[in-house]
């Protein structure tokens, strides 16, 4: 196997002596238990805080009908679920590498394909959120017709479908190049390079990443320009709302940029691995914290703190329900508008009969 990961083949009676490992009926110690280093411990602390905040926000989302029926919050909750799943899988990969666990090659392949899939779900969700803000601000009269349960479902299917293309491309190229006998191997230090067996696979992966990067950048720029123009043309309360939309899109753009840089990190890391292993480890850790964890921490900032409607309910559940005044957020405003409009119609009909 032409790969940077260390692999060994299992024979029917034991390990192949050519691999350099002992001849046993099963792999040697599956994991080497050792104390956590400062870096790995820092990752676990950050991941723990991240999971706590995300679980709290997801719980808040599902507790309120007003959020479950709003496209903006549905996309937000979807992004939280995707980010949590991605961080869980990457954290698992970090722990497997730290403890030098030997796992089946097929398990390593599935883990890497899942991470590639989830990595693209987040930026595509950000693009969908920017488009939602564009429709809400620039086409408010058409928003109700566009933002329907059917449209939301189609949008989520599109996100997952488009995000699966890079993973499917890697899987198909892997299936063509790798013989079935190689699937019986065991792998040490499982990472994305485990499924890259020839150089052209890396070029194909880079081409797909570049295409996605270009398309998502164009969409973000388009929504930013349109919302900025609408903000300048608006006045009064509308101007305040559109200005907030511009800031939201800018934060989405920053978050998307960090996510897209994270997609390019493996190419830089593999180049450094050929030069200096120590520098490779340091850069890999830096990329993981800055481009993997940091963008996911921006989601709570954008919605949990900036959005007053969500923030009030979040405070209520964060305080274990001790402050009941903050729980009075519901779909009442929209219902109130409907009642007022109905009252106007009935009142007009009454006056007409008079």
Contact 174, 195 (CB under 8 A): yes
- If one compares 156 and 329, the residue with the highest pLDDT of the two is 156
- Report the predicted TM-score, pTM, of the whole model to 2 decimal places: 0.77
Average pLDDT over residues 194-210: 78
Q: List Cβ neighbours of 201 (8 Å cut-off, separation of 6 or more).
A: 170, 173, 174, 177, 195
Residue 268 pLDDT: 75
- Residue 15's pLDDT band, with cuts at 50, 70 and 90, is very low
Residue 248 pLDDT: 76
Q: Per-residue pLDDT tens for 214-273? A: 898 899 889 888 888 887 776 666 666 677 777 777 877 787 777 777 777 777 777 777
Average pLDDT over residues 143-169: 92
Of how many residues is the chain composed?
A: 354
Residue 158 pLDDT: 95
Q: Of 246, 248, 264, nearest to 299 (Cα)?
A: 248
Structure tokens at 9: 């083949």
User: Residue 111 and residue 113: Cα distance in Å, rounded?
Assistant: 6
- If one compares 79 and 292, the residue with the highest pLDDT of the two is 79
Q: Per-residue pLDDT tens for 22-48? A: 333 455 567 777 888 888 898 888 888
- Nearest-Å Rg of the Cα atoms of the chain is 25
Residue 213 pLDDT: 84
Residue 1 pLDDT: 35
Contact 117, 164 (CB under 8 A): yes
Mean confidence (pLDDT) of the chain? 75
What is the CA 315 to chain-centroid distance, rounded?
Answer: 24
Average pLDDT over residues 141-157: 91
DSSP category for residue 15: B
- Does the structure show a pLDDT above 90 at 103? no
Share of the chain above pLDDT 90, in %: 9
User: Residue 174 and residue 2: Cα distance in Å, rounded?
Assistant: 12
**CATH of the domain spanning 6-329:** 1.20.1070.10
User: Residue 215 and residue 225: Cα distance in Å, rounded?
Assistant: 16
- Does the structure show a pLDDT above 60 at 287? yes
Residue 236 pLDDT: 60
- If one compares 340 and 71, the residue with the highest pLDDT of the two is 71
Least confident of 62-76, 135-149, 339-353: 339-353
End-to-end CA distance of the chain: 89
Least confident of 16-20, 111-115, 117-121, 163-167: 16-20
Least confident of 45-59, 109-123, 185-199: 185-199
Q: Per-residue pLDDT tens for 158-186? A: 999 999 998 888 888 877 777 777 777 78
- Does the structure show a pLDDT above 50 at 350? no
Residue 253 pLDDT: 78
Contact 1, 7 (CB under 8 A): yes
Residue 124 pLDDT: 92
Residue 27 pLDDT: 52
- If one compares 73 and 350, the residue with the highest pLDDT of the two is 73
Contact 127, 94 (CB under 8 A): no
């Amino acid at each position: 196997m032409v790969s940077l990961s260390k692999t060994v083949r299992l024979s029917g009676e034991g390990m192949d002596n050519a691999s350099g490992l002992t001849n046993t009926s099963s792999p040697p110690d599956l994991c080497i238990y050792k104390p956590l280093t400062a870096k790995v411990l820092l990752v676990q602390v950050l991941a723990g805080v991240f999971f706590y905040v995300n679980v709290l926000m997801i719980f808040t989302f599902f507790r309120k009908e007003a959020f479950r029926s709003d496209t903006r919050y549905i996309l937000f909750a979807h992004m939280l679920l995707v980010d949590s799943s991605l961080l869980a899988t990457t954290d698992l990969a970090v722990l497997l590498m730290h403890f030098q666990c030997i796992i089946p090659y097929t398990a390593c392949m599935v883990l890497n394909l899942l991470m590639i899939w989830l990595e693209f779900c987040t930026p595509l969700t950000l693009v969908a959120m920017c488009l939602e803000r564009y429709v809400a601000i620039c086409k408010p009269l058409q928003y109700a017709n566009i933002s329907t349960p059917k449209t939301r479902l189609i949008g989520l299917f599109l996100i997952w479908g488009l995000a699966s293309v890079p993973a499917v491309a890697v899987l198909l190229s892997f299936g063509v190049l790798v013989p079935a006998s190689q699937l019986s191997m065991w792998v040490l230090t499982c990472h994305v390079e485990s499924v890259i067996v020839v150089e052209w696979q890396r070029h194909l992966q880079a081409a797909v990443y570049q295409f996605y990067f270009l398309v998502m950048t164009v969409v973000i720029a388009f929504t930013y320009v349109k919302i900025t123009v609408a903000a300048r043309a608006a006045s009064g309360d509308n101007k305040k709302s559109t200005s907030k939309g511009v800031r939201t899109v800018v934060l989405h753009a920053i978050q998307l940029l960090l996510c897209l840089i994270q997609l390019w990190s493996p190419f830089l890391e593999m180049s450094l691995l050929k030069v200096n292993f120590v520098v490779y480890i340091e850069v890999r850790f830096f990329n993981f914290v800055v481009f993997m964890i940091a963008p996911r921490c921006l989601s709570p900032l954008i919605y949990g703190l900036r959005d007053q409607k969500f923030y009030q309910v979040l405070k209520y559940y964060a305080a274990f329900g001790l402050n009941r005044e903050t729980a009075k957020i519901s779909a009442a405003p929209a219902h109130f508008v409907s009642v007022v409009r109905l009252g106007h119609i009935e009142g007009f009909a009454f006056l007409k009969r008079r």
